[in-house]
């Protein structure tokens, strides 16, 4: 079992993640869904890291909008501790906008 330590100080096993490790490209293609109201929040457009230990602190997500989804709408910052599950196609978060 692979373990990872993130910014909240909790050690997570690879069972939280679908398939263990992933690239940013794979991460950014996943739809972010709020578990409270099942609303689509958008896609990951950026990450915020802790510069001391290199852990992910926040996900920056934005909705695709405009013609052909070429532009991004409002951005939201989601603390990493609010991520409930990372699956093959979606990221489930406990977050209120």
Q: What is the pLDDT of residues 56-95, one digit of tens each?
A: 899 999 886 555 545 556 788 999 899 998 888 899 999 8
Domain ranges of the chain: 3-93
C-alpha dist (Å) from residue 43 to 3, 5, 11, 63, 91: 25, 23, 25, 6, 9
Q: What is the mean pLDDT of residues 13-26?
A: 63
- pTM of the shown model: 0.69
* 19 DSSP β-pair partners: none
Sign of the four-CA dihedral 71, 90, 40, 56: negative
User: Is the model's pLDDT at 13 over the cut of 50?
Assistant: no
CB 17 within 8 A of CB 86: yes
CATH 3.40.50.720 fits 3-93, yes or no: no
Residues 89 and 19: their CA atoms lie apart, in Å, by 12
Alpha helices per DSSP H over 15-61: 24-28
């Amino acid at each position: 079992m692979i373990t990872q330590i993130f910014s909240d100080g909790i050690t997570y096993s690879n069972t939280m993640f679908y398939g263990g490790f992933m690239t940013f490209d794979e991460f950014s293609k996943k739809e972010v869904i709020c578990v409270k109201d099942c609303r689509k929040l958008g896609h990951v457009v950026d990450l915020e890291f802790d510069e001391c230990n290199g852990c992910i602190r926040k996900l920056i997500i934005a909705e695709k909008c405009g013609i052909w989804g070429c532009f991004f709408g409002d951005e939201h910052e989601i603390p990493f501790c609010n991520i409930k599950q990372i699956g093959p196609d979606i990221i489930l978060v406990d977050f209120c906008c």
